[in-house]
Structure 1
């Protein structure tokens, strides 16, 4: 299917003392976009369980230019890669007329009741696969 795209509104409270969106707020904006994919879109497709427990194990972000409040919103394109038995990566490219940041988060499904990570279910895997960008299966030709 390709990338999932979310538009996230910028808020006045996202600004820092230098007049651009604070770096920590940028991560929060990416989180809001990710919730659109992993929670709202997954539930829309009949997979509500992702909202019951999913944690971020790692965040990596590269800033390419300051994000100005005047942009009004941030368009975030997301895709999934490195889908494993108990984790996956979400890749982001955030745009405000031009790419302002690229990022990735390592996501781990989590059993809140047991207090430990869990495996990706087959339904979750089927959902996540549709957001991969031409990533070959391990062991396949060209992979």
Structure 2
């Protein structure tokens, strides 16, 4: 399977004083795309556990071009790599409405048991779901 693609609406409030989307807002837009995969798509497939506890351990972003606000959306391709027993990396390729790559990023995710207040291992079903979104390096761009 290829990368998961999410369309994330851009908001006027995402803009900064320089007329482009603020870097912190970009993190939020990527978070919304990730939530669509890990909570939305997983939920549609009957997998609800990820919505009960998943934390970001690390995020890294490379900005390639300014993202200027428009009434459109940001197209984000997401894929999974380094799927381990208790963590995985989500890769992002974010494109503006004119198909220009504006940012690429990765987020280290850790499943988390909120009641026990500690990290946990991925379940077999979670691993199978995440494995659906693993792609080869040359296929990461959506």
Instruction: Please say whether Structure 1 and Structure 2 have the same fold, judged by a TM-score greater than 0.5.
Output: yes
CA distance in 1 between counterparts of 2:100 and 2:15 reads 19
Q: Corresponding residue for 1:17?
A: 17
**Structure 1 residue 72: deviation in Å?**
1.9
Q: Corresponding residue for 1:29?
A: 29
TM-score by length of 2: 0.93
Map 1:19-98 to 2 at 5 A: 19-70=19-70, 72-96=72-96, 97-98=99-100
Q: Corresponding residue for 2:8?
A: 8
Q: Which residue among 99, 108, 128 is the counterpart of 1:106?
A: 108
* CA RMSD, 1 decimal: 1.0
Residues 62-117 of structure 1: per-residue CA shift (max 9 Å, x gap): 00010000262100000000000000000000001210000000000000000000
CA distance in 1 between counterparts of 2:120 and 2:70 reads 41
Residues 41-76 of structure 1: per-residue CA shift (max 9 Å, x gap): 001011000000000000000000100002621000
The structure that has the greater radius of gyration is 1
Question: How many residues align structurally?
Answer: 135
* Paired residues of 2:10 and 2:74 also in contact (CA < 8 A): yes
**Structure 1 residue 8: deviation in Å?**
0.3
Unaligned runs of 5+ in 2: 138-142
Q: Corresponding residue for 1:133?
A: 135
* Paired residues of 2:11 and 2:71 also in contact (CA < 8 A): no
SS at match of 2:112: strand
Unaligned runs of 5+ in 1: 136-143
Question: Stretches of 4+ moved more than 2 A in 1?
Answer: none
**Structure 1 residue 2: deviation in Å?**
1.5
